[in-house]
Amino acid sequence: MTTVLGIDACRGGWVGVQLRDGGFAGAHFAARLDDLAARVADADVIAVDIPLGLVPSGERVADRAARAMLGRRGASVYITPPRPVFDEPDYDSAKHRCKTLTGWMLSRQAWGLRAKVLEANRLYDTGAALYEVHPELSFQHLGLRYEDGAKKSWRGQRARLRVLTEAGVVLPEDLGAAVATVPADDVLDAAAAAWSADRIARGDAVCLPDPPQRNDRGQVIAIWH
């Protein structure tokens, strides 16, 4: 029996969708990523929609590769700044440090992910078996089209539910009280991450780049789907 967990960052913490042998087995929420991972201690694979593995300078190959594959949805992939950028105390200093190390200016949206990126990478640094995914890559692999709409739109959410259901990931109407206030698009992204986690567990997933990049710490940097 294969158990996996797909996780997406959301307001106030992290939301997770658990699959068992490819089918829905539960939904979870926790303020801390390590606490959420501990909720499914028997997970064979944990896939997280957050950059895992930071570089000392320049860019991660995976981010540009994912943008290219997604085409018109490519802007949904943030280009992850180098590790030293996250050491800066505020956005103004961070954007200039990023410019020095990469040649481009850090966006406020990317800086807004700082706390979640650092939290996830602290766990990744412990050797935890985490895999980075991106829901839009997962949904593209599931058959979602650009014309199906944005993830916050009614049409887009219905289309995402449809392709997940066709793949055997059937989300119930009631996900439990803990997840009741999590936005629908975050739950759907966690479900897509779980679908990719199941593919990883079964040895069917592919990654960008292939073979994966490794950073100065020897960590794998790749986005799986």
The 3-state secondary structure of 72-87 reads: HHHHHCCCCCCHHHHH
Say whether pTM exceeds 0.75.
yes
97 and 200 together in one domain: no
CA geometry: angle 210, 190, 122, nearest 5 deg: 65
Tens of pLDDT along the chain (225 residues)? 999 999 999 999 999 999 999 999 999 999 999 999 999 999 999 999 999 999 999 999 999 999 999 999 999 999 999 999 999 999 999 999 999 999 999 999 999 999 999 999 999 999 998 999 999 999 999 999 999 999 999 999 999 999 999 999 999 999 999 999 999 999 999 999 999 999 999 999 999 999 999 999 999 999 999
41 and 143 together in one domain: yes
Query: Does 44 reside within a domain?
Result: yes
Interatomic CA distance for residues 90 and 202, integer angstroms: 42
Interatomic CA distance for residues 26 and 17, integer angstroms: 6
Give the domain range for residue 20.
3-52+127-207
Interatomic CA distance for residues 41 and 5, integer angstroms: 10
What does the pLDDT read at residue 20?
Answer: 98
Query: Does 30 reside within a domain?
Result: yes
15 touches 192 (CB < 8 A):
no
159 and 200 together in one domain: yes
Query: Does 189 reside within a domain?
Result: yes
What does the pLDDT read at residue 205?
Answer: 98
Q: Which amino acid is at 32?
A: R
107 and 135 together in one domain: no
Query: Does 213 reside within a domain?
Result: no
What does the pLDDT read at residue 125?
Answer: 96
Query: Does 60 reside within a domain?
Result: no
139 and 89 together in one domain: no
138 and 107 together in one domain: no
What does the pLDDT read at residue 86?
Answer: 96
10 and 93 together in one domain: no
What does the pLDDT read at residue 66?
Answer: 98
The rounded Cα 69 to chain-centroid distance in angstroms is: 16
- The SS3 of residue 114 is helix
Number of domains in the chain: 2
32 and 94 together in one domain: no
- The SS3 of residue 11 is coil
Query: Does 196 reside within a domain?
Result: yes
142 and 40 together in one domain: yes
Q: Which amino acid is at 18?
A: Q
What does the pLDDT read at residue 3?
Answer: 98
The tokens of 6 are what? 């797909």
33 and 134 together in one domain: yes
- The SS3 of residue 170 is coil
23 and 48 together in one domain: yes
Query: Does 45 reside within a domain?
Result: yes
Interatomic CA distance for residues 195 and 189, integer angstroms: 10
Query: Does 219 reside within a domain?
Result: no
Q: What is the CATH number of the domain that holds 170?
A: 3.30.420
Task: Report residue 44: phi and psi, to 5°.
Answer: -75, -35
137 and 173 together in one domain: yes
Nearest residue to 196 via CA among 22, 14, 9: 22
CA geometry: angle 182, 43, 22, nearest 5 deg: 75
What does the pLDDT read at residue 168?
Answer: 98
The alpha helices in the chain, defined as continuous H runs, are 33-39, 61-70, 91-102, 108-111, 114-125, 135-142, 154-166, 184-202
